Homo-oligomer: A and B are copies of this chain.
Amino acid sequence: MADNKKRRRATHDAGAERIPFKSKVRPDSDILQILKNLKDAAVASSSSSKTLTLSDLDLADNFREVKDLPLSAVQTSIEDLILSLARSILSGQGFSYTVPSRSSANQLYIPELDRIVLKDKASVRPFANVSTVRKTTITTRILRLIHELCSKQIHVTKRDLFYSDVKLFVDQTQSDAVLDDVSCILGCTRSSLNVVASEKGVVVGRLIFSDHGDVIDCTKMGMGGKAIPPNIDRVGDMQSDALFILLVEKDAAYMRLAEDRFYNRFPCIIVTAKGQPDVATRLFLRKMKMELNLPVLALVDSDPYGLKILSVYGCGSKNMSYDSANLTTPDIKWLGVRPSDLDKYNIPELCRLDMTEQDIKTGKDLLEEDFVKKNPGWVEELNLMVKSKHKAEIQALSSFGFQYLTEVYLPLKLQQKDWI
């Protein structure tokens, strides 16, 4: 069938375009110049405008954010907190924590910051009350365990934390929830507490960094790449001659890029969380963006979940909004696969999948989200998706050949500055 197509084309096209759009790709030097300009713009904008904080907007009193704290500061905070509790008890005022509310009613998207943050609602959690005595005890126990992690300077998972006192916690949701409370009480990120999530991301390309004291050169990581470390605080010394970061949703596209060493043709850092973004990959992406001042281009499926994933990297997830400043990477550009690409690149009808009712609902919900609304290009694309009721995976590009992604689609996208 493909042969027929090729032959047919060859007759009226003198063989110039056996692979769709291949003849449109200009020499790499032209594309590299475009990427250099993109990078220079990213550097310029980062030096001219620093990342806004709540204080810059005079909102620090009304909203709440946590920040990365060194281990010693966390330890001191815990000790200060416990001392103040002891004083309160001794002075006859009893024993209670003031816990910031993490409910969705207490969350707000701030356009200037382009992030979801917590409002200032908080509740008192007294020990001398039957309805809160358990939670107060759990909070105290978690504080003690975190203090132990600080003094031993080790990292553990949430599961380890739960098993430290099963009798008290009963089930892991309880210790997990209080762990987030403790982050908010101490005003620090969860990674500052040395409690880490399991990592699943990988990185490959033009990046050198140190992980737990070892120097890692990501151009020399073969096809498998380097597993992104679970503990961002032991990651440092990032160096790179890349012109951009390519954020990839799926493993299969990542593999194609890694095997073809795409980063050698167009200097870049390729990173993927293999689906839903995990905390470690989000922290790692942000650190790269901040330290290296590189533009971030995203390659995701053309479906509502692709855009949702992009939004988690960009604006954060609702259940960790107290930590949005540290987990989000500003100014991610949507490179592809965008709904308009389906027609533009003549993706065969058969490779376009029908959206389910749920897909369409998710798409419509996204149209109501602030982070989508602020970008007219995204709204247009999403409207097109919901209207056409078609979605497509990055892999759909394989219908033009296994290396179409790296040899035609991405070079052409970069050449045409086709990101929004």
Name A residues whose Cβ lies closer than 8 Å to a Cβ of B: 1-2, 148-149, 152, 154-157, 159-168, 196, 198-200, 202, 210-216, 219-231, 234-235, 251-252, 255-256, 259-260, 274, 348, 350-351, 393, 395-399, 402-403
Copies in the complex: 2
B213→A224 contact, CB < 8 A: no
A256→B156 contact, CB < 8 A: yes
Inter-chain CA distance A402–B149, complex, in Å, is: 9
Inter-chain CA distance A403–B162, complex, in Å, is: 14
A220→B230 contact, CB < 8 A: no
A222→B234 contact, CB < 8 A: yes
Given known contacts A200-B274, A399-B164, A157 and B226 CB-to-CB distance under 8 angstroms:
no
**B residues less than 8 Å from A256 (CB atoms):** 156, 160
Measured CB to CB, the closest approach of chain B to A216, in angstroms, equals 7
Given known contacts A214-B220, A398-B164, A227 and B227 CB-to-CB distance under 8 angstroms:
yes
B222→A212 contact, CB < 8 A: yes
A259→B212 contact, CB < 8 A: yes
- Nearest CB in chain B to that of A198: its residue: B251
A229→B220 contact, CB < 8 A: no
Measured CB to CB, the closest approach of chain B to A324, in angstroms, equals 24
**B residues less than 8 Å from A397 (CB atoms):** 163
- Nearest CB in chain B to that of A212: its residue: B222
A159→B224 contact, CB < 8 A: no
Contact of A221 among B163, B226, B259, B399 (CB under 8 A): B226
**B residues less than 8 Å from A221 (CB atoms):** 211, 214, 216, 226-227
Measured CB to CB, the closest approach of chain B to A140, in angstroms, equals 12
Measured CB to CB, the closest approach of chain B to A5, in angstroms, equals 11
A252→B351 contact, CB < 8 A: no
Given known contacts A160-B395, A214-B221, A166 and B348 CB-to-CB distance under 8 angstroms:
yes
**B residues less than 8 Å from A227 (CB atoms):** 202, 221, 224-227
Inter-chain CA distance A226–B227, complex, in Å, is: 5
Inter-chain CA distance A157–B250, complex, in Å, is: 11
Inter-chain CA distance A199–B229, complex, in Å, is: 16
**B residues less than 8 Å from A223 (CB atoms):** 155, 211-212, 229-231, 234
Inter-chain CA distance A168–B216, complex, in Å, is: 44
Measured CB to CB, the closest approach of chain B to A46, in angstroms, equals 27
B228→A166 contact, CB < 8 A: no
State the 3 A-B residue pairs at the shortest beta-carbon distance, nearest first: A211-B222, A224-B229, A212-B222
Measured CB to CB, the closest approach of chain B to A371, in angstroms, equals 29
